[in-house]
Homo-oligomer: A and B are copies of this chain.
Amino acid sequence: MADLATSLRTALDGPYADARAAARQLLTDTGVLTDPTLSLEDQRTRTRDAVLALAASDVPAAGFAKAHGGTGDIGASLVGFETLVYADVSLMVKSGVQWGLFGGAIENLGTARHHEQYLPDVISGDLLGCFAMTETGHGSDVQSLETTATYDPATGEIVVDSPTPSARKDYIGGAAHDATMAAVFAQLVTAGPGEEPTSRGVHCVLVPIRDADGRDLPGITTSDCGVKGGLNGVDNGRIVFDQVRVPRANLLDQYASVADDGTYSSPIDNPNRRFFTMLGTLIRGRVSIAGASGAASRQALAIAVRYALQRRQFGAPGAGPDEDHEVLLMDYRTHQRRLLPALARSYALQIAQNELVTTLARIQGSDAEADPREQRELEALAAGVKAYASWHASATIQDCREACGGAGYLAANRLTTLKADTDVFTTFEGDNTVLMQLVGKELLTGYADEVRGLDPVGMASFAVANAAEVVLERTPVAPLVARLRDAARREGDEPDLLDRGTQLALLTDREEHLLETLARRMQSARKDSGAAAFAAVNSAQDHLVHLGRAHVERVVLDAFVATVAEVEDNDVRAVLDAVCDLFAVSAVEDDKAWFLEHRRLSVGRAKNVTVTVNELCEKLRPHAADLVDAFGIPEHLLDVEMMH
């Protein structure tokens, strides 16, 4: 165990060791770019300059297919963006808007002419764009956007318009200043010969919004969202369209097109399915936010843990008042409990993120059409991991700030800026509460697929017997994970909390039970309509969110377990085993009341959960420095004022 940190890093980097090393290298000459002492304008200029500098690196091109001028390495692209967080969260977000959202919309929703015409300039940064989806009136509910894009066969143009004040595009990164083109999501209205003009649902149209001198083009009115709670390097703004005309060719027509005569056609007949297919291609944004949340959490933990290994306060009972006898913060139980379970969850999340990125790269990198079910499951998992990781970041960075006391409150020590800059992650790219319900609904859909055709009685008996299969079948796990879990399930009811199989079984049982009971609730509400239908669905919201979270946590544990088991060095694996234990047992502790209420834990075992978390914290305490060094965050980006 000559270098524990290096070995742990290998496990954490997983298949992206090279990509992460390259991304870290990229930051070698970059200091911390976040600087809240600068004016809003200067912060934005600095971030824009950094984005343009980044355009010269390999990172942007990695996200695009070779056929489109990229290098087609989706994994490296996502890992590269994530790493930017260490220097500046605004840089990561503004890059994500330019290449992930704007460029991603063109690549995934457009066709060859769009790829050829725009992508080279998008990749090089010569064309800066924005992603104009959210409106003042509608954010999470994208299907209800009000902006219209009406085809005018007389001129062959599409007329983009904001018919109401709430149709205004809002919070759009780049819209306040830098973007010269917008990928606008709008209700497409068109009529074929002899048809009435009909709304075809939300589609994406490219609309130039500014001239080269930064002036709004005719019909366009942009404005500025001003100072935000964070991310002030990103120029978020608003766009109002007043009958803006663009050529028909500006419709991104991968999934639907309008003929010269106004005839609408799409390879996907069902409008609902078409909408979700289009949205599904944009999944990379959520995966990026999950990654960025993880990176910010790791950086905050590295700062707080290092401070706790240096800062002493209060003499130990029985010791003298000399400074030598003062106790390191890291040795206090309350401090360990604040930082170490969050550290363990950060390990688990990084490993799960590696897996999510790999799956995404496999599906999106393939020329074959994705299996619809696999695609839907990936979308649900991306939504769930994004929500789980961004809530984790919010709570963890807050705890790190508090664990550093007054020093933690100084901007120079990075924790307040990390908190402020990542705070919006819980609500953008989809509100977390809405996303967790989406995860729950997807599980429910999968469940319903299996039980379709069963009468209520049959459904109930099926539920009890087969929920397990449905849950497990739908997110395949490594054989080792399945073996451990199943062995624990056979063993009965007083197993050891440190047994890996027990941990897996506890989280799997919870998910299954939540799914079964939710399915029954929905089944019995099936005949309701109107207010009663709303009441039934509404009263199950918490249940849905709980199911979503339980699912994500189980999938994250599965991934962590499989990775730990593959580590060959016994000493390194022992440490990672303890980290995995701490993640699993503190996940149980966080939801202990549920396990007690559902008799998955006896009262005696439940008390033991807390004791076990404490013991694991003590066990990991000697490795605290290595555990954060393993994150491989460039030293100059951790070198904050309070460490001197």
Q: Which residues of A contact B (CB under 8 A)?
A: 36-37, 39-40, 134, 138-141, 143-144, 170-171, 225-230, 313-319, 321, 326-327, 331-334, 337-338, 394, 398, 401-402, 405-406, 408-412, 415-417, 419-420, 423-424, 426-428, 431-433, 437, 529-531, 533-534, 537-539, 541-542, 545, 592-593, 596-597, 599, 603, 606-607, 610, 614
CA separation between A87 and B39, bound complex, in Å? Answer: 23
**A333 to B539, Cβ gap below 8 A?**
yes
| In the complex, residue of chain B having the shortest beta-carbon distance to the beta carbon of A415 | B229
Chain B residues whose C-beta falls within 8 Å of the C-beta of A420 in the assembled complex = 229, 416, 420
Counting chain B CB atoms within 10 Å of each CB, which of A134, A229, A534, A614 scores highest?
A: A229
Q: Give the distance to chain B from A43, nearest Cβ to Cβ, in Å.
A: 12
Bound CA–CA A597/B607 (angstroms): 7
B394 and A408 form a contact (CB under 8 A)? no
Contact partners of A542 in chain B: CB under 8 A: 333-334, 337, 610, 614
Q: Are A410 and B228 in contact (CB under 8 A)?
A: yes
Q: Do B592 and A529 touch (CB < 8 A)?
A: no
Which residues of B have CB within 8 Å of A408?
229, 427
Q: Give the residue of B139, B398, B411, B610 whose beta carbon is less than 8 angstroms from that of A406.
A: B139
How near does chain B come to A553, taking the closest CB pair, in angstroms?
Answer: 17
Minimum CB distance partner of A605 in chain B: B597
Q: How far is the CB of A436 from chain B (nearest CB, A)?
A: 9
Q: How far is the CA of A432 from the CA of B398 in the complex (A)?
A: 14
Are B596 and A229 in contact, with the CB atoms below 8 A? no
Q: Are A226 and B394 in contact (CB under 8 A)?
A: no
CB distance from A446 to the nearest CB of B (A): 20
Excluding A140-B405, A405-B431, 10 further A-B contacts by CB distance (< 8 Å) are: A140-B314, A227-B411, A229-B416, A319-B530, A334-B542, A406-B428, A409-B424, A539-B614, A597-B606, A597-B607
In the complex the two chains form, is A423's CB within 8 Å of B406's CB?
Answer: no
Bound Cα distance A416, B421 (Å): 11
With A139-B313, A314-B140, A314-B141 as known contacts, state yes or no: A226 contacts B534, CB within 8 Å: no
Least distance between A552 CB and chain B CB atoms (Å): 17
Looking at A143, A170, A431, the one whose CB has the most chain B CB atoms below 10 A away is A431
What CA separation (Å) do A542 and B313 show in the bound complex? 17
- Known contacts being A420-B416, A420-B420, is A410 close to B529, with CB within 8 Å? no
With the chains together, A603 CA to B37 CA distance in Å?
Answer: 54
- If over half of A's interface residues share one DSSP class (helix, strand or loop), that class is named, otherwise mixed; here it is helix
**In whole angstroms, how far apart are the Cα atoms of A537 and B316 in the complex?**
9
Q: Enumerate chain B residues within 8 angstroms of A327, measured Cβ to Cβ.
A: 534
Contact A318:B534 (CB < 8 A) given known A139-B406, A405-B139, A541-B334: yes
Asked if A326 and B144 sit within 8 Å, CB to CB, the answer is: yes
10 tightest A-B CB contacts, nearest first: A229-B416, A592-B593, A227-B411, A316-B534, A171-B406, A593-B593, A318-B533, A596-B596, A333-B541, A409-B424
Docked pose: A394 CA to B139 CA in angstroms? 26
CB distance from A21 to the nearest CB of B (A): 32
One complex includes copies of this chain to the number of: 2
Q: Taking A227-B37, A229-B416 as contacts, is the C-beta distance between A318 and B406 under 8 angstroms? A: no
Given contacts A171-B406, A319-B534, contact A606 B614 (CB under 8 A): no
Which residues of the partner chain B approach A432 to less than 8 Å between Cβ atoms? 402
Residues of B within 8 A of A314 (CB): 140-141, 144
* Pairwise interchain contact B405-A394, C-beta atoms closer than 8 A: no
Q: With the chains together, A530 CA to B320 CA distance in Å?
A: 10
Specify the chain B residue showing the minimal Cβ separation from A540: B333
A402 touches B426 (CB 8 A): yes
Determine the chain B residues whose CB is within 8 A of the CB of A405 once the complex forms: 139-140, 427, 431
How far, in angstroms, from A318 to B398 measured CA to CA in the complex? 41
- Nearest chain-B residue to A417 (Cβ)? B229
Distance of A545 Cα from B332 Cα, bound (Å) = 13
User: Are B318 and A529 in touch, CB under 8 angstroms?
Assistant: yes
Of the A-B pairs whose beta carbons lie under 8 Å apart in the complex, a sample of 23, sorted by A's number, is: A139-B405, A140-B313, A144-B321, A227-B410, A228-B409, A229-B416, A229-B420, A317-B537, A319-B530, A331-B538, A333-B542, A334-B437, A398-B398, A406-B424, A406-B427, A406-B428, A409-B423, A409-B428, A416-B423, A542-B614, A593-B606, A596-B603, A597-B606
| Cβ–Cβ contact A228 & B398, under 8 A | no
Contacts of A139 in B (CB 8 A): 313, 405-406
Bound CA–CA A134/B542 (angstroms): 44
Residues in B neighbouring A410, C-beta threshold 8 A: 171, 225-229
Contacts of A539 in B (CB 8 A): 333, 614
Minimum distance in angstroms from A140 CB to a CB of chain B: 6
How many Å from the CB of A429 to the closest CB on chain B? 11
A330: min CB distance to chain B, Å? 12
- A610–B594 alpha-carbon span in the complex (Å): 11
Instruction: Evaluate contact between B138 and A313: CB separation under 8 angstroms.
Output: yes
From A337, A406, A412, name the one whose CB has the most chain B CB atoms within 10 angstroms: A406
**Nearest opposing residue in chain B for A398, CB measure:** B394
Quick check: A170 and B406 within 8 Å, CB to CB? Answer: yes
Nearest-CB residue, chain B, relative to A603: B597
Q: For the complex formed, measure the closest distance between the CB of A598 and the CB atoms of chain B, giving whole angstroms.
A: 8
Instruction: For the complex, give the distance between the alpha carbons of A484 and B138 in Å.
Output: 49
Q: Are B40 and A37 in contact (CB under 8 A)?
A: yes
Q: Chain B contacts of A545 at CB under 8 A?
A: 334
Chain B: which residue is nearest A391 at the CB level?
B402
Q: How far is the CA of A432 from the CA of B321 in the complex (A)?
A: 23
Contact of A37 with B226 at beta-carbon distance under 8 Å, contacts A317-B533, A332-B538 already known: yes
Residues of B with C-beta under 8 A to A36 = 227
Bound together, the chains give a CA A225 to CA B420 distance in angstroms of: 19
Chain B residue at minimal CB-CB distance from A405: B427
Give CA–CA (A411, B331) in the complex, Å: 39
Q: In whole Å, how far is A394's beta carbon from the nearest beta carbon of chain B?
A: 7
State the CA gap A449–B226 with chains docked (Å): 59
Please measure, in the bound complex, the distance between the C-alpha atom of A406 and the C-alpha atom of B429, giving whole angstroms. 10
The smallest C-beta distance from A479 to any residue of chain B, in angstroms, reads 34
